[in-house]
Structure 1
Amino acid sequence: MAHLTLGKVEINRVLERRGPFVPVAMLLPGIAAEFWQQNRDWLAPDFWEPESGAMVGSVQTWVLRSEGRTILVDTGVGNGRHRPTMPQFGGWDTDFLDQLAAIGVRPEDVDVVVNTHLHPDHVGWNTEWREGSWQPTFPNARYLLAAADFAAADPGQAGRPAPRDEAERDRREGDAQLFAETIAPVHRAGQLELWEGSHRIDGSLTLEAAPGHTPGSSVLRLASGTDRAVFVGDLLHSPAQILEPSCNSCFCEDPALAAATRLRVLGRAAEQRELVVPAHFGGTGVSEVRRAGDGFAITRWAGAEH
C-alpha cells in the first residue's frame, strides 16, 4: 500500500526498511511451528521467509494528513544509532527524510508526531544529530507520548528498585541511552506532550491507551465519514497474531495484559469494521478482520483502491 484515503484523511506509508528480521520462533514463541507451514500459501513471501524461518516485516512511518495538519505515526529506527542491546537497530543509514520529501513533507511541515510506544524502532527519527548533539528532527511538531512509557523509561525517576541481575542492568542502560537520544531532547525543547487514558488529536483522530506491550502502549483510532481504522503499533508484529490473538511477541512486557488488549482491540475492529493498520507488517499491511472461533480471520487486504 502506497496511498490510502479514509474519509477526509489521507494516509501514506514511508518505509525505512523492509525484509527478514528475527526468526518467528523467537519473536512469537507461542505460535507452533506447524502453523507457519499450514499457512505458507499466504504468509510467504510477504510476512514470512520459509527458508530462514524469519519474519518478513517493515520498519515504517504512517504519514497522515488530517484537518490541514501533517501527522507522523511512529518514527522508526533513525540513522547513526548505537544499540548494544538491540544491534539489529544499530548503524542504519537510510533515506527516510528523502522519502518524506518525496511525498511533499519537509521536517518543518510536520505538526504532530505520535509515538505509539517507547521502543527503539518507533522513536528513532524523533531526533537527528546536528551541531554536536541530538536535536528534534521536526522543529514545529508536538510530540505525543503516553505518560506511562515516559515514567517507565525516564532514568531520573525516583524510587526505582535496583536491577535484579546483569541482564536487567544492561536493559536499563539501553533504555536510558534511548531516552537520552530520542525523548530527552524533545522534552528539553518543550515539544513533548504526555497524555493519559485518551487524547483527541482532531475531529478524526484519537489516541487510546492499549497497555501490555509496554506500560504506555497506545493505539490511534481514525473515524472520518463512514470510514474507520485503528493503528495498532506493536499489538501485532505478524498477521499470524490475528489468527492466534492470544500469542504475544517476546518483547511484550506484560504478556497477560498484552493478550487481553489485543483481543479487545481486534474485537472492536471486527465489530466496527475498522481497518487494522499495524507497525511492522510486510506486504500491503492493512487488513479488515472478522471473528472466527476463538480468534479472527482476515477478510481482505486494503490497498490504494479503497
Structure 2
Amino acid sequence: DLGSGSGRDVFAFSKLVGPDGHVTGIDMTEELISASRQYVEYHQKKFGYEAPNVTFVQGYVEKLSEAAIQISSMDVVISNCVICLCPDKKVVLQEAYNTLKEGGELYFSDMFASRVIPEHMKQDPVLWGEGMGGSLFWKDLISLAHETGFSTPLLVSASHIEVHNRDLKAKAGDIRYASGTYRLFKLPKRSARSGAVVTYKGTVSDFPEQLYFDSSHSFKKDVKVEVNAEMLAILQNSRFCSDFKIQMLDKPESTTQSTDPFCLLDPFLLADRRGASVRQCSKTHS
C-alpha cells in the first residue's frame, strides 16, 4: 500500500489475502508507521492468524527499493488518494511497475483534474495539501502508464468532488475535480496481438455469477464475451488466468476503434453517466 497512513487499508487487505498472503504498507511519516505497528498484533488475533501477515516500513513511494521492497516481488500494489500528493507521478508509477511481478496490478484511487494544473497552483501550499494542486490531468495518466510500461488504464469507478470552501474554489477557477479508481497491469512484452472470446467460469471468490472488472467490462458466468488483445493479455497473464475459458479469434485485431478510448477512461464522463454522488477524497477536507 503506497502511502499507508494509519494502516486502515493494509489491515483490510490483511483479511482479504488470508494467513498465507502478506501485505506491506509504506509511508514516509514515522508517527503513522509507529501507530500502525501498534495494531498489528490486534488484527492478527482478531483474524485468527498464527502469525502477523503485515509489515509496515517507513520510506518514500518514489524510492521503494530503498525501503527494502524488492523488484518484481508484489502481486498487487494499491494506493488511495496519495499520488496526487507526489510531485513526480511518473517516478511513482515506475517504482510501482518495477515492484510488481509480471501480470501484477496497480489498483489505485486518486483525485484527477479536468485539465492540466497550472504551475502557480502547484506552488500554493494550501492547494497542494488538499490534493488540488497536485491532481493529475486524467488524460496524462494514460500517457504516463504507457511510458512506464503499464497497460492502458482501466477505469473502475468515478465520482465528482465538489469544492465547498470559497477560497479554494476561487483559486481552482474553472478546474473541476473527480475521484477515479483505475487498474493498470504489468504485462509481458510479448502479449496477445489478437482478440478472443472469453467465458467467465464463476470461480472468483464472492463473484459466482458475475465479475465486474471495470466500467467497460463485466463478465457473467458461462456467457461468451469478445475482448480485444490487451484485455486478453490481462486475463491470460494476471491472477485471473484460471478464471476464464479462452477461445482465440482467427481474425487480426482491427486498428480502428468504434469508440474513442478517452471516453471510456474519463472519470468525469463516468461520474456524469452514473449520476455518482459527489464525495470528498479521503485525504482532503475540501
TM-score (norm 2): 0.29
Larger proportion of strand:
1
Larger proportion of helix:
2
